[in-house]
Amino acid sequence: MLVLASGSFIRRRLLEAAGLEFVADPADIDERAVQDDDPDTLAQILAVAKARAVAPRHPGRIIIGSDQVFEMDGALGSKPETPEALREQLLSMNGKAHTFHCGLALVRDQELLHAEVDRARVRFHHLSNSEIEDYVATGEGIGCAGGYRLEEGGVRLIESIEGSHFTVLGLPMLGLIAALRTLDPLTLIRRSQENS
């Protein structure tokens, strides 16, 4: 059985939808203490740190760590924590493109088995002030990388995505499945055999 080093509802939902057996055990790391100017490097460091933080509690199991870094105009973004910060972020993104850098790490007993970073570029529509205010009022973008949730009402803000929507959601599923095929193919078939 796999272990997801995250409490994220959407990451859990993606693994469930793929039919993977796993338990969720959120990593308790201080993400703000980790700094790097390169978004790919930062996403990878955070993904590995999350997986390694959880590994001692699950000996012999493959731990999935994932983290997402938001970048726009060459600057790293933070997760807006207030409606005012969310409004300001959405206004700055209006009609522009931004990039998600999503790190994926697979660890077993502190050994790094696989690491990758996937990128997706998202362009926002030119939004009216009322569209932005309507989205801010939902509160769903608070605490999210980029300030919106693709899987919810945030999809209305998006004009286009270049790359995988899984990356925008925070877990590069295609890379994960490919790595599991190599590292432990049985993780991909156990659930389907039980249900046959």
Compute, in degrees rounded to 10, the torsion defined by CA atoms 11, 14, 16, 20: -90
User: Where in the sequence numbering do the catalytic residues fall?
Assistant: 67
End-to-end CA distance of the chain: 18
Q: Which residues pair with 97 in a beta bridge?
A: 123
CA pair distance 1, 191, nearest whole angstrom: 10
CA dist 161 and 187 (Å) reads 30
Comparing CA positions, the residue from 50, 86, 2 lying closest to residue 170 is 50
* Under 8 Å between Cβ of 101 and 69: yes
Cα distance between residue 58 and residue 70, in whole Å: 30
Is 138 in contact with 161 (CB distance < 8 Å)?
no
